[in-house]
Amino acid sequence: MMKPQLNLTHNSFLTRRSYAIIGAGAIGGFYGACLQKAGFDVHFLFNSDYQYVCQHGLVIESPNGDFNLASVQAYHDANQMPRCDVVIVALKTTNNYLLPQILPQVLKDDGVVLVLQNGWGMEEEIAQIVGSDRLIGGICFTFNYKLGAGHIRHLDYGLITLADYAPGYAAKGVTTRLCQIAADFSVAQVMIQLHEDLFLARWQKLICNIPFNGLSVILNSAIEELIANPDVRTSIEQLMAEIVAVASTYGRHIPEVYIQKRIKQTATMKHYQTSMKVDFDQGRSLEVEAIFGNPLRKAWQAGVQMPQVSMLYRQLKFFNAQNQNRFAEISVSQ
Amino acid sequence: MMKPQLNLTHNSFLTRRSYAIIGAGAIGGFYGACLQKAGFDVHFLFNSDYQYVCQHGLVIESPNGDFNLASVQAYHDANQMPRCDVVIVALKTTNNYLLPQILPQVLKDDGVVLVLQNGWGMEEEIAQIVGSDRLIGGICFTFNYKLGAGHIRHLDYGLITLADYAPGYAAKGVTTRLCQIAADFSVAQVMIQLHEDLFLARWQKLICNIPFNGLSVILNSAIEELIANPDVRTSIEQLMAEIVAVASTYGRHIPEVYIQKRIKQTATMKHYQTSMKVDFDQGRSLEVEAIFGNPLRKAWQAGVQMPQVSMLYRQLKFFNAQNQNRFAEISVSQ
């Protein structure tokens, strides 16, 4: 295994940071590969692709330029990994129950966890494991998928919005460590946006995640079909309005122009299947709690109902349970 | 064609009423057959079953006793029908656009129209055709389906709730003509319940129609699966609560005990597919406007939103449009 050339010092966080990628799928694998290509010391925790990647490395297709990493520092067991300065959590949130076993093994004492997941409340949960002063939230706006073992296609976009975490999701502003990590990603040719308020950043992303992920599964359709239908379009806008209302209750303002921009932008994505629809069609467990359940409970805490999000949540839970049973039956019968 | 023996006088409404069945399917055909068997003069307007029924009559299977009508007065064209004392409208509401051509042909000057359909607002629409003093609403609580041409199975229940119509759905109380028609059905062994307030009677039925019809289609499931799932059960109760709130805005009280009774009763129906699910699976147009759109617009008139009913309505419209396209394609390709 060829190791990338690196200059590591003792207090490496102040100089050249090392990265651990927990969940090296289409998102984690892609960003990790970009960091390694730029010369960073990156350690990838793989699941099913582990053996393949050990032998063949990673192949990345991207409009920014295709590249291969003939050798990567791949692991199947977190206990084998070194402690790193930045631990990127890029698992599906449905696997976050594994983190109490993993994070204490791979996070340096002065390291930070960067949570690259969709949904709400992950930082608060992970703070229980690593402490509340060691978390940064990252919201990816990218269109990636896996073509096969060790083979990732980055089709479009790629932006990560970074925001620092404080207990209760109080706005923490732009911190030094945020700038340092942003600089690393910039070196790796990844577009970065800094956000002063992780709460607002996450609820802005929910504006898209909730309607499009939810309705694409329930209505068994691609995004363009949903947006083209005037009734579904109305439902999308009403779901978004419920999210805006909750954010507003917590003092965060999401302007109408933001919503219209997101809808317009999404409408240009031809034949685009949401990640939740892809998960559903492939029989994987849906991220129902992170994307729907946690935001709902946050709304209820403030005495706000989100009735349409609530109905979508319950419909998804029903489908998810049915889907898991169906795929379990298929597995048994094979 | 053998005609049943009848005593008709000039003012027949006061004595032995004649009946026209507009839409002689699983519901209309069944109740019409019961009336004919009891000796009433019944005229059936058939669609696709017309030729078959002319040759073979009707076969009814029922827990109250199977019976055949070797000969029925069947029509394919309303212009050929005699004017009748009571015209029973038992079409799918999606075919109500045909009524302006039909009703003036078949309704006696002193006759009444009995609307045996699910949903809201049909009487108000039909009043535009025949006048607002000539309408009675009927709400069927029965479990019927067609086994084939001229072959109807009545599986369970059978009750009709009758209520007289007044403009704006003002409660009209129990009228003489209501009692007369109830008496006819009683002679025909059909269970009848009289209701003083058609508004309340129809919204009580919506309590079941909206959640069960809607969710069975969207979640592709039988009623027992819906009720057994705690999340769907919660959605059902929340949808019902929205309906109760609108009825309440219009001064109609639907008690909680009524709702719990309906859920309990529905939970006992094993393997029951709702009529909307059966329509969907067979590629027929769904009664989305009568059961969802019209109640929603009634709510909006009063400034009430029904957000969950609204989402279900738009989901159903999307599925309905897709379904119609799909079945149109199947027809073309055959």
Residue B318 is predicted with a pLDDT of 97
Closest CA to B269 of B189, B190, B155, B147: B155
Give the mean model confidence (pLDDT) for residues B205-216: 97
Using a CB-CB cut-off of 8 Å, the residues of chain B touching A215 are 315
Residue among B232, B308, B315 minimizing CB distance to A307: B308
Cα B11 vs. chain centroid, distance in angstroms? 28
Alpha carbon separation from A93 to A45, A86, A98, B189, B202 (Å, rounded) = 16, 19, 10, 60, 45
Which two tokens mark B127?
């009043």
A8 φψ region: left (φ > 0), alpha (ψ -120 to 50), beta (else): beta
Q: Is the ipTM of this complex over 0.90?
A: no
Question: Which range is least confidently modeled, A87-101, B3-17, B185-199?
Answer: B3-17
Three-state SS annotation for chain A: CCCCCCCCCCCHHHCCCEEEEECCCCCHHHHHHHHHHCCCEEEEECCCCHHHHHHHCEEEECCCCCEEECCCEEECCHHHCCCEEEEEECCCHHHHHHHHHHHHHHEEEEEEEEEECCCCCHHHHHHHHHCCCCEEEEEEEEEEEEEECCEEEEEEEEEEEEEECCHHHCCCCCCHHHHHHHHHHHHCCCCEEEECCHHHHHHHHHHHHHHHHHHHHHCCCCHHHHHHCHHHHHHHHHHHHHHHHHHHHCCCCCCHHHHHHHHHHHHCCCCCCCHHHHHHHCCCCCCHHHHHHHHHHHHHHCCCCCHHHHHHHHHHHHHHHHHHHHHHHHHHHC
Beta-carbon contacts of A155 under 8 Å, excluding residues fewer than 6 positions away, are A63, A143, A144, A145
Question: CB-based contact (8 Å) between A241 and chain B?
Answer: no
Residue among A307, A310, A315 minimizing CB distance to B218: A315
Q: How far is A199 from chain B (nearest CA, A)?
A: 26
Whether A231 sits inside 8 A of B319 (CB atoms) is no
Q: Which amino acid is at B326?
A: R
Question: CB-based contact (8 Å) between A315 and chain B?
Answer: yes
Tens digit of each residue's pLDDT (9 = 90 or more) over A231-269? 999 999 999 999 999 999 999 999 999 999 988 888 887
Q: Is the pLDDT of residue A114 over 80?
A: yes
Whether B235 sits inside 8 A of A321 (CB atoms) is no
Task: Report yes or no: B27 and B144 within 8 Å, Cβ to Cβ.
Answer: yes
Using a CB-CB cut-off of 8 Å, the residues of chain A touching B308 are 307-308, 310-311
Q: Which of residues 290-309 of B touch A (CB under 8 A)?
A: 307-308
Residue among B229, B231, B314 minimizing CB distance to A234: B314
Task: Report yes or no: A66 and A33 within 8 Å, Cβ to Cβ.
Answer: no
What residue in A sits closest to B314 (Cα-Cα)? A231
Q: Is the pLDDT of residue B311 over 80?
A: yes
* Mean pLDDT rounded to a whole number for chain B: 93
Whether B307 sits inside 8 A of A308 (CB atoms) is yes
Q: How far is B136 from chain A (nearest CA, A)?
A: 33
Whether A321 sits inside 8 A of B234 (CB atoms) is no
| Alpha-carbon gap, residue A208 to A259, rounded angstroms | 9
Which two tokens mark B187?
């002679």
Best A318, A325, A326 member to test B by mutation, with max B CBs in 10 Å, is A318
Using a CB-CB cut-off of 8 Å, the residues of chain B touching A317 are 231
Tens digit of each residue's pLDDT (9 = 90 or more) over A275-318? 999 999 999 999 999 999 999 999 999 999 999 999 999 999 99
Residue among B232, B310, B318 minimizing CB distance to A219: B318
Residue among B215, B311, B317 minimizing CB distance to A308: B311
Q: B331 vs A323, which has greater pLDDT?
A: A323
Annotated catalytic residues of A are 205
Q: Is the pLDDT of residue A11 over 80?
A: no
Tens digit of each residue's pLDDT (9 = 90 or more) over A23-44? 999 999 999 999 999 999 999 9
| Alpha-carbon gap, residue B15 to B9, rounded angstroms | 7
Closest CA to A288 of A119, A91, A141, A126: A119
What residue in B sits closest to A305 (Cα-Cα)? B307
* Mean pLDDT rounded to a whole number for chain A: 93
What residue in A sits closest to B225 (Cα-Cα)? A318
Residue A331 is predicted with a pLDDT of 58
Q: How far is A77 from chain B (nearest CA, A)?
A: 37
Whether A319 sits inside 8 A of B238 (CB atoms) is no
Closest CA to A84 of A176, A179, A184: A184
Per-residue pLDDT band for B278 (boundaries 50, 70, 90) equals: very high
